[in-house]
Amino acid sequence: MNSTTHPAIGIVLGVGIGILITVGLQSIINKRTIATCYEDPHRQLVLLRSIIGDSYYCVESKYLPD
């Protein structure tokens, strides 16, 4: 089998592995953000949903509507 006959398989596998790594790293970042966000009373935890999954961000309260 010639390795150049199926380049799409390599692309699909590369994208799949990249997405799995991104989801895992986002989970680690979310845990740290949730644990440390409320150390400053002027911060608010914000949830954003995307195709990859949920993302939590810690935002200054002055940038959020009341």
Which amino acid is present at 53?
G
| Predicted local confidence at residue 4, as pLDDT | 60
| Predicted local confidence at residue 2, as pLDDT | 56
Tokens of 41: 């009373």
pLDDT tens digits for range 11-61: 999 999 999 999 999 999 999 999 999 898 999 999 999 888 899 999 999
Give the structural domain span for 32. 7-63
Residue pointed to by tokens 């935002």: 59
* Backbone φ, ψ for residue 59 (5° rounding): -120, 145
- HSE-up of residue 26 (Cα within 13 Å, Cβ side): 17
46, part of any domain: yes
- HSE-up of residue 2 (Cα within 13 Å, Cβ side): 2
Q: Is the pLDDT of residue 5 over 70?
A: no
- Please measure the distance between the N-terminal and C-terminal CA atoms of the chain and give it in whole angstroms: 63
2, part of any domain: no
1, part of any domain: no
Q: Is the pTM of this model over 0.85?
A: no
